[in-house]
A = this chain, B = another copy of it.
Amino acid sequence: MKVIIVGGVAGGASCAARLRRLDEKIEILMVERGPFVSYANCGLPYYVGGAIEEESKLLVATEQMFKVIFNMDCRTNCEVVGISAKEKTVKLKNHLSGEVSIEKYDKLVLSPGAAPVRPPIPGLDLPGIFPVRTVGDSKNIKEWLERDIDRSVGNSFTGVDTVSKPKHAVVIGGGFIGLEMVENLIERGLSVVLLEKLDQVMPPLDPEMANLVKRYLKKHDVKVKTGDGVTGFRKTENGELEVLTEKGKVHPADVVIMAIGVKPETELAKMAGIEIGKCGGISVNEHMITSDPDILAVGDAVEVKDFVTGECTLIPLAGPANRQGRIAADVITGRKSKFRGTQGTSICKLFDAAIAQTGVSEKTLKKLGDTDYEKVYLFPNSHAGYYPGAKMLIIKVIFRKSDGKLLGAQVLGEDGVPKRIDSFAMAIQMGCTVYDLEESELCYAPPYGSAKDPVNFAGMVAANILRGDMPVIHWDSIGDSFLLDVRNPPEVAADPVPGAVNIPLPQLRSRLAELPKDRQIASFCRSAQRSYYATRILLQNGFKAVNISGSMLARSIM
């Protein structure tokens, strides 16, 4: 049995190593078009920024290691230029020697990854414009940032004749790579304009959560322009690079980073004549087998099932790619392993903050026409408020109305984000309901959490809603409710809500007569805790009462 694996990074490398562990006898050939196998592409922005100092640190495993430890044929700078599924052969071209050869396979594993989107924009090939996909890309960017620019012929930035390093960057695309590049360019001392064609940065987040990310970027002096795509690049007479946008803006740039997303590399699949799915990735079944039973595919190039919605999706993440590689190896050696789909669990560092999500977003549910869900916003401390260093977490949790099943969570904050998103991720994997979250027993000591962890708290709030103890509404649907502000007068004075009547919570029981019995009373306070108490008092006194989820804090993010 001979297996050829195309692509030697996350999915391919995992597959190759596991294949050898499972079977000493299989003949394995792994080919990688680039110069490195198994490199840390998630580290590239940090190599550019300088947090990772040595290029060698990015190389997780070497060609040599695959040969010696895993006893396989491993070839870098070697590209597949042809596949015959009928003959079960691939045509390989060695980019160093130019040599072309034909290799036969019994099973073929495709792990070509996803390539940065390159829209047909005039000037995209001008010097100073870079994607961030390979070690080579990041080296090119570093070199570019370290070279001197002659500003003597004219200078649209400083107006002073001089020579300097690049100072002004434009990052195009506000997803993971875009944001990581923004941070790392700022760390290097550059000023950064972030251009995003969509109305929000960080596409996996819901818009109101992404809006917080935008604010946070602005706080860190990033000029964020959402809803404005790039239309072209040009070089001025003085040799300066400029970025032109849909809205007619011109952004001068010493360097431009293209991070507008990736799309599955499907050239190989097309060569092989295998099916491409409706999301544009290679179609595979749960065993990672394509439409050709002898060809498997893994990683960013394939489309997989969304674990929560059951729909097809493209999720270019390292974790699923690695697990798919293992599963493909299992399947080739006769095991029945299955990929259970992806939850889209992901996290992004942004200065001191982390942005994380798992499961489905509200906008995805809306797109699917699913209305059987409810959401809550929470703003708890990352750990006991009385212990130094607690930061506010901003949490959005989405759950099914009919049975309480947890569907998705989005968490932002400067402390304790990974702890919470992983609890939610594990919960979603295991089919957890909000009633389970209420009863979760997570670690607590004052430096790390609270006796009621934010995850419990999310469960409690959600369960209160589903049990009917606390009907909620959101700011965008208050309609003609009677708005009851139960904050204390100084809070109200500092941030009043037009049209709301203020009755501080401690006075509520004695002032019920001031409230209408025939209208829905929507209470709010700062975080929705006191207004929850108010809602309980009102409901038990015969009022039609609802709590405004997240209250003033949620209002501040809308």
Contacts and interface: CB of A to CB of B under 8 A. Distances in A.
Contact of A323 (B46, B387, B436, B439): B439
Contacts of A427: 426, 430
A451 interface: yes
A448 interface: yes
Contact of A347 (B57, B346, B418, B444): B444
A164 to B, nearest CB: 28
Interface string A8-36: 00100000000011111100000000000
A302 to B, nearest CB: 16
B342 A443 contact: no
A445 B347 contact: yes
A322 B441 contact: no
A419 interface: yes
> Which of A346, A349, A446, A530: most chain B CB closer than 10 A?
A446
A238 interface: no
Interface string A51-71: 110000110100000001111
Contacts of A449: 347, 418
B384 A506 contact: no
Contacts of A43: 384, 386-387, 446
Contacts of A416: 418
A489 to B, nearest CB: 15
A277 interface: no
Given A384-B42, A386-B40, A418-B419, A448 B349 contact: yes
> Which of A60, A343, A426: most chain B CB closer than 10 A?
A426
Interface string A430-443: 11100010111111
A341 to B, nearest CB: 9
B441 A68 contact: no
A536 interface: yes
> Which of A22, A345, A443: most chain B CB closer than 10 A?
A443
Interface stretch (A79-87, A113-121, A313-321, A371-379): A313-321
Interface string A340-376: 1011011111000010101000000000000000000
B322 A452 contact: yes
Contact of A441 (B42, B425, B432): B425
Contacts of A275: none
Contacts of A429: 436, 439-441
Contacts of A520: none
A422 B423 contact: yes
A408 to B, nearest CB: 13
A318 B451 contact: yes
Contact of A418 (B321, B443, B506, B532): B443
Contacts of A342: 441
B426 A442 contact: yes
A444 B323 contact: no
Contact of A46 (B68, B340, B345, B387): B387
Given A432-B430, A509-B71, A453 B319 contact: yes
A69 B422 contact: no
A342 B342 CA distance: 31
B441 A358 contact: yes
> Which of A21, A58, A438, A442: most chain B CB closer than 10 A?
A442
A425 B448 contact: no
A348 B445 contact: yes
A180 B319 CA distance: 36
Interface string A315-341: 001111111001000000000000010
Contacts of A24: 536-537, 540-541
Contacts of A386: 40, 43, 52, 57-58, 60
A388 interface: yes
A243 interface: no
A36 to B, nearest CB: 13
A505 interface: yes
Given A51-B388, A69-B530, 11 more contacts: A40-B446, A42-B444, A43-B387, A46-B446, A57-B385, A319-B441, A319-B442, A319-B452, A349-B445, A422-B455, A425-B441
The 10 tightest CB contacts between A and B, nearest first, are A430-B430, A318-B451, A347-B443, A57-B386, A24-B540, A426-B426, A68-B506, A345-B441, A418-B419, A21-B536
5 contacts: A22-B469, A43-B386, A46-B387, A429-B439, A430-B432
Interface of A: 10, 20-25, 40, 42-43, 46, 51-52, 57-58, 60, 68-71, 176, 180, 307, 317-323, 326, 340, 342-343, 345-349, 354, 356, 358, 384-388, 416, 418-423, 425-427, 429-432, 436, 438-449, 451-453, 455-456, 460, 469, 505-506, 509, 530, 532-533, 536-537, 540-541
